[in-house]
Amino acid sequence: MPGLRPDQVQQIHEYIHNQQLIHAIKLYQDATGVGLAEAKQAVEEMAYYESVKPPDGVMDYDNPILESRIKSLLAKRRKIDAVKIYRDEYRTSLKDAKDAVDRIESSMKQRGSSSMSASYESAISGDPFADDEGSRRRIILVAVAIVVAICGAGIFFLMLNI
């Protein structure tokens, strides 16, 4: 949903759940800057999908990138980090974040396609969330900084001679 932050999406879902569609439409319109008709249509679609989605075993807010990252962390047995990331992204309580991560973890176990002992395969080539010491990156960064400093000093002294 373009222009909507996760906390706004959460608030809209709460309004929909509490049958306060006018508040949901107003929040959507204010957050995205769209017209009333488009906001109404978007909120009605959200309400429809809210009513047809299964309540258990599914994240409250669809974000495939975040879910992929959480699954990757769970496969590496880093549940605490997964809960922290979920909590930071959706600004939820610790209990809600833990419950959501538990649902993701149980869905991973139910599917059986990604074993908890095996690494989670990312859809993106190479795991962008893999831990990397980054020592080579640091060396390159320091080398580039030194080259830039030398060039800057050279230009400074060249300008003094002119």
Cα(114)–Cα(128) distance, integer angstroms: 18
Q: What pLDDT is recorded for position 84? A: 92
How many other C-beta atoms can be found within 10 angstroms of the C-beta atom of residue 27? 20
Q: What pLDDT is recorded for position 25? A: 93
Q: What pLDDT is recorded for position 57? A: 45
- Contact predicate 117/62, CB 8 Å: no
Q: What pLDDT is recorded for position 72? A: 87
Cα(140)–Cα(68) distance, integer angstroms: 30
- Contact predicate 84/100, CB 8 Å: no
Burial environment of residue 74 by CB neighbours within 10 A (0 to 12, 13 to 18, 19 or more): buried
The DSSP output letter for 106 is: H
Q: What ranges do the domains of the chain cover?
A: 6-52, 57-131, 133-162
Q: In angstroms, how far apart are the furthest CA atoms of the chain?
A: 75
Is the dihedral angle over the CA atoms 11, 17, 23, 24 positive or is it negative? positive
Q: What pLDDT is recorded for position 138? A: 84
pLDDT per position as a tens digit, 95-142: 988 988 888 888 887 766 444 444 445 444 455 555 556 677 888 889
12 or 110, greater pLDDT: 12
pLDDT per position as a tens digit, 129-161: 555 566 778 888 899 999 999 999 999 988 888
φ, ψ of residue 150 to 5 degrees: the values are -65, -45
Query: Which structure tokens are listed for 97?
Result: 């974040």
pLDDT per position as a tens digit, 17-67: 888 999 999 999 998 888 999 889 888 888 876 654 444 444 445 677 788
Cα(127)–Cα(122) distance, integer angstroms: 6
Q: Which residues contact 150 (CB under 8 A, 6 or more apart)?
A: none
How many other C-beta atoms can be found within 10 angstroms of the C-beta atom of residue 71? 21
